[in-house]
Structure 1
């Protein structure tokens, strides 16, 4: 059995939409070819709130003005430290350094569990844990 690892991920929102990354469609990563939240591994000795800001800078060249803890989701493989923050820039100001595509998904997309990607020219599913996290977040209406 593999060891559990920790990640810090961010729910970024604007105008009732959520920024998501279409993960690369390559074997060996969790949820390849699925929509997921931006973020990544927490380095040894790094605090989750520091890791999430570092990951956002590395993946999309974005630093949120404020970031808040939403919760912690754990399964047999991953501990996900989840944060939320407003997205205060336009999509064309973001630089996608990691992933296949990015997009603003509506609560309807999240509920349906899929969204079309222009770059992939296909409808792609949401990663199961990412969908659950977003549905929990939407219920609390913290982004309105």
Structure 2
């Protein structure tokens, strides 16, 4: 797995809803036009905690105070270091710097596997791995803290 791509992603939650990013619909990225979590690639030698803080600042201009490790999800595509934290600001206080849209999704929408985007004017699927991670997280009951 040492040659695998490593990414750090964040489950940010508020009022039993989860912050999702609608990925740009461009063909040269992984999962274009899919809802995913904010975060990104680790730079060479970078710690996942630091990488996630850097990515969140770049993508939405926000770093949660208490990012805690939830788990690690390796597959053929990437090793995903997953963290979680409450979203302590209103959605309109975040500034989307990367992606097509962002919104909060209910667990019902996550189970359904797709979510409407007003900005992108359509219904878009969740990245399957992200759906699994969020359902695992919901089952773990960490989201109720």
CA-CA distance at 1:75 after TM superposition: 0.7
Aligned length: 142
Distance in 2 between residues matched to 1:34 and 1:4, nearest whole Å: 22
Q: Give the alignment's TM-score, normalised by structure 2.
A: 0.96
Deviations 1:79-114 (A, max 9, x none): 000000110000110000000000000000000000
**Alignment correspondent of 2:90:** 90
**Alignment correspondent of 1:7:** 7
CA-CA distance at 1:137 after TM superposition: 0.3
Distance in 2 between residues matched to 1:115 and 1:99, nearest whole Å: 15
CA-CA distance at 1:122 after TM superposition: 0.4
Q: Which runs of structure 1 show a deviation greater than 3 angstroms over 4 or more consecutive aligned residues?
A: none
**Alignment correspondent of 2:74:** 74
CA-CA distance at 1:138 after TM superposition: 0.5
Deviations 1:13-37 (A, max 9, x none): 0000000000000001111000000
Q: Give the alignment's TM-score, normalised by structure 1.
A: 0.97
Q: Give the aligned CA root-mean-square deviation in angstroms.
A: 0.7
Specify every segment of 5 or more residues in structure 1 that has no aligned partner in the other structure, as ranges: none
CA-CA distance at 1:4 after TM superposition: 2.0
Specify every segment of 5 or more residues in structure 2 that has no aligned partner in the other structure, as ranges: none
